[in-house]
Amino acid sequence: MNFTNGNNGYNNNGYNSNGYNNGNTQFNQNMFGNQTGYNQQYQQPQYNQYQQQQYNQYQQPQYNQQFNQYGYNNGQSANRQNSFMDSFANPRVKHLSKLGADYAPGAEAATFGGIAAKTVYFVLTFALGLAAFFYLHYYFGKTGVADGQLLYPQEYPILIGACIATLISALVTAFAPKTTAFFGTIYCVGMGYLVTWTSYTYAAAYKGIVYEALGLTLLIIGVLTVLYSKGIIRVTNRFRKVVYTTLLVSILGGLIFFVMTLVAPNSGIVRAIIQANNGPIGIVFGIIGVMLASAVLTCDFDNAAKTVEQGLPKGYEWAASFGLVTGVIYLYLKVLQLLAKIQNNK
């Protein structure tokens, strides 16, 4: 058969003998130097010297420095940023990764000075709400607490409006962090009004409690700052999960109890909870509340620190500073509640 015949078939006179194999032999000889090509010409010492010089040239420190600067380091920085955002479990800044989409790679990075400046801004807006309460309360009452009223009828609509505004602002900043500068301002003004009213109410029932709460809050903040800066307290992913899970459970529990007081204020469950809250058990839960608020504030410290360390864009400063302010407010309210419970049990 033609395909197996050694004289006329495919293997002899066709493809192998005169076609592919002969051509392939010539190709190998000419291109890859099996006999006189590459091995003879390009294996000479001068070419080896050229290759070694070129290799050594790109191993010099300046090229390694450029590689590290424009290649590896940028990739490493991106990995650190992504891993940081994955562990950024603070519910107030949970969606911060969306914020970075609007910034170019060369955007100005966040700094501790920028976070401090924005924190001062939010504190001033909080003070504006505080001043608004005293001004309006004096305006409506003229003589302050005359007639034994802590809140005048004209103030109820303002109080309700402040509650609604702070709630909406908190939700918007949590799900749209790019709006933190605007809605964070509304939140701080509203909370300034509400916290001042709360403090005013506690001060009327417990003499000197507001000053005690302020002093204890500042003391806790100072201790937490030292412990965190010294590395004694370390915020890990597990730490964050435990803290914010506990925070979520406490918030849901408070909302459920609030609804129960509206639906069935005289029920046995509500009365039992109120009685326990006013006793020694209430003090224990108050201490737990202060510890939880302290842990939340520690996470806020870590969020601010990592915002700078990871080289995140400057827009992240708003979320970091907002977290610090809200953490301090939450801590103060928990301290105020604890001191009131202690006063009740004396």
| 133-147 pLDDT per residue, tens | 999 888 887 755 445
Give yes or no: residues 225 and 335 share one domain: yes
174 part of a folded domain:
yes
290 part of a folded domain:
yes
Give yes or no: residues 15 and 28 share one domain: yes
Q: Do the beta carbons of residue 163 and residue 297 sit within 8 Å?
A: no
Closest CA to 196 of 124, 127, 141: 127
Closest CA to 286 of 197, 216, 184, 195: 216
- Dihedral pair phi/psi, residue 158, rounded to 5°: -65, -40
* Collapsed DSSP state (helix, strand, coil) of residue 155: helix
Torsion, Cα 261 267 271 273, to 10 degrees, reads -70
Give yes or no: residues 334 and 281 share one domain: yes
Consecutive H or E run containing 204: helix 180-205
Model-wide pTM > 0.75: no
Total domain count, the chain: 3
Average pLDDT rounded to a whole number, residues 279-299: 94
Give yes or no: residues 276 and 326 share one domain: yes
Nearest 5 degrees, angle CA 228-CA 84-CA 242?
60
Q: Which residues contact 187 (CB under 8 A, 6 or more apart)?
A: 165, 166, 169, 170, 173, 322, 326
- Dihedral pair phi/psi, residue 197, rounded to 5°: -65, -40
Q: How high is the pLDDT of residue 344?
A: 86
Torsion, Cα 237 243 246 250, to 10 degrees, reads -140
263 part of a folded domain:
yes
Between 288 and 149, the higher pLDDT residue: 288
Range of the domain at 49: 10-57
As a whole number of angstroms, the distance between CA 53 and CA 75 comes to 29
pLDDT at 276 over 70: yes
173 part of a folded domain:
yes
Between 71 and 219, the higher pLDDT residue: 219
Q: Of 39-43, 106-110, 191-195, give the lowest mean pLDDT range.
A: 39-43
Give yes or no: residues 220 and 327 share one domain: yes
Q: How high is the pLDDT of residue 177?
A: 87
Give yes or no: residues 201 and 213 share one domain: no
Neighbours of 185 (CB within 10 A): 19
Give yes or no: residues 181 and 211 share one domain: no
Give yes or no: residues 184 and 255 share one domain: no
Give yes or no: residues 199 and 220 share one domain: no
Residue after which a domain boundary falls, among 20, 38, 57: 57
Give yes or no: residues 173 and 213 share one domain: no
78 part of a folded domain:
no
Q: What is the mean pLDDT of the chain?
A: 76
Q: How high is the pLDDT of residue 94?
A: 42
Residue after which a domain boundary falls, among 171, 205, 239: 205
Q: How high is the pLDDT of residue 83?
A: 37
Question: Measured on CA atoms in the order 213, 215, 217, 220, is the torsion positive or negative?
Answer: negative
Give yes or no: residues 166 and 177 share one domain: yes
Give yes or no: residues 147 and 221 share one domain: no
C-alpha 214, offset from chain centre: 26
261 part of a folded domain:
yes
**Is residue 125 very low, low, confident or very high in pLDDT (cuts 50, 70, 90)?**
very high
245 part of a folded domain:
yes
Q: How high is the pLDDT of residue 148?
A: 52
**Is residue 66 very low, low, confident or very high in pLDDT (cuts 50, 70, 90)?**
very low
Q: How high is the pLDDT of residue 155?
A: 86
Residue after which a domain boundary falls, among 148, 171, 205: 205
211 part of a folded domain:
yes
> In 3-state terms, the chain is what percent helix, strand and coil (to 5)?
80, 0, 20
Average pLDDT rounded to a whole number, residues 54-71: 43
